[in-house]
Structure 1
Amino acid sequence: MNVAGEVRTVHQLTWGDIQQHVASVTAAITRDGSPEAIVAIARGGLIPAVLLAHRFGCRDLRTLNFTHTTTDAVHADKTTSPVLTGVLAVDGLAGRDVLLVDDIAGSGDTLAAARHLLSHTAAARRLRTVVLVVNTANWTRHQQAPTYVGHRVEGWVTFPWEQPTST
């Protein structure tokens, strides 16, 4: 509980959950056509992006480095807006079908910033977005929804590759 007495839910996902969510989004993406390139939002989107790249036989895997939380702690504070800490190899995406991948969408701000970068700076011909989980407690309704969502929850999410710290 936090100081106001409100219960703050934490959803701990397992590798089995991840496999299920990746399978779900893979089926939907397949119906719409395989991507030509996959861009992961680092750090959280790296593992789902690699899993999807293998499923689609897509060898063109790139990363964007964004941060939007101040620490790795559960219920960590967020920065005012996502911070781009590095761009790796977005050249050559112009005119291509690109799949942007992240592990979770909370407010949707990071996904929106990455989407803008790939649409405008990289000039992707087709840009689809995928997240394994949407946190509906934080989702900002004015943001464009991800194209593909593995699962929706209300509350903080930890992934099996994270080592959460307490606040």
Structure 2
Amino acid sequence: MDKVYLTWWQIDRAIFALADELRKNFMPDVIVGIARGGLIPAVRLSHILGDVELKVTDVKFYRDIGERREKPEIRIPLHGSLEGKKVAIVDDVSDTGKTLEVVIDEVKKAGASEVKVVCLSMKPWTSVVPDFYVFRTDKWVVFPWEEFPVVVRE
């Protein structure tokens, strides 16, 4: 699968652009970051938007590039009520959309009054088109916080 490598500078510019749109169109009371890929964007958005409350959930779906589990599994559930809160769910990419579907359901069960999905990128085949995203690609996105392959010369 083709890959696109993003830099820290590109990610920072993308997160600031997302924050600007959130301020104008949907200022959240709570940000829910999806571990692992959504945590850095979620933390940055929380700070940029004025220390918006941040909650974390962990959902595992991928085992490796192109290798998924049968269905997403919640490993760290949301804690506490979101009753009457406007919630922005943040992840790095909306690929199949299955992880986001699970988290949207959990956030609604916790009582959120409004839910929006915020991602850096989305794939054209996703079942969940984010309410806010920066770019669309059919490539595997490698974010700067992920491991780059290391070549060892023998």
Which position in structure 1 is the counterpart of 2:140?
Answer: 156
Q: Secondary structure at the match of 1:66?
A: strand
Tell me which stretches of 4 or more aligned residues in structure 1 moved more than 3 Å. Answer: none
| CA distance in structure 2 between the partners assigned to 1:20 and 1:81 by the alignment | 33
Query: Could you tell me which amino acid in structure 2 is paired with residue 43 of structure 1?
Result: R
Query: Could you tell me which amino acid in structure 1 is paired with residue 7 of structure 2?
Result: T
Task: Indicate which of 69, 79, 83 corresponds to 1:94.
Answer: 83
1:165 to partner: Cα distance: 5.1
1:60 to partner: Cα distance: 1.2
1:25 to partner: Cα distance: 1.3
Does residue 1:69 correspond to 2:58, yes or no?
Answer: no
Report percent identity of matched pairs.
31
| CA distance in structure 2 between the partners assigned to 1:128 and 1:106 by the alignment | 16
List alignment gaps of at least 5 residues for structure 2: none
Contact map agreement 2:91 2:118 (CA 8 A) in 1: yes
Taking structure 1 as the reference length, the TM-score comes to 0.84
| CA distance in structure 1 between the partners assigned to 2:128 and 2:39 by the alignment | 22
Which position in structure 2 is the counterpart of 1:126?
Answer: 114
1:19 to partner: Cα distance: 1.2
How many corresponding residue pairs?
A: 150
Which position in structure 1 is the counterpart of 2:21?
Answer: 28
Task: Indicate which of 27, 32, 37 corresponds to 1:39.
Answer: 32
List alignment gaps of at least 5 residues for structure 1: 1-7
CA-to-aligned-CA distance 1:94-113 (integer Å, 9 cap, x gap): 11111110011111111111
Contact map agreement 2:59 2:74 (CA 8 A) in 1: yes
Contact map agreement 1:10 1:156 (CA 8 A) in 2: yes
Provide the alpha-carbon RMSD of the alignment: 1.6
C-alpha spacing 1:59/1:31, structure 2 compared with 1 (3 Å): closer
Contact map agreement 1:11 1:158 (CA 8 A) in 2: yes
Which position in structure 2 is the counterpart of 1:78?
Answer: 68
Taking structure 2 as the reference length, the TM-score comes to 0.90
Aligned pairs (5 A) from 1:101-140 = 101-119=90-108, 121-136=109-124, 139-140=125-126
CA-to-aligned-CA distance 1:92-139 (integer Å, 9 cap, x gap): 2111111110011111111111001111x2010011110001123xx2
1:26 to partner: Cα distance: 1.4
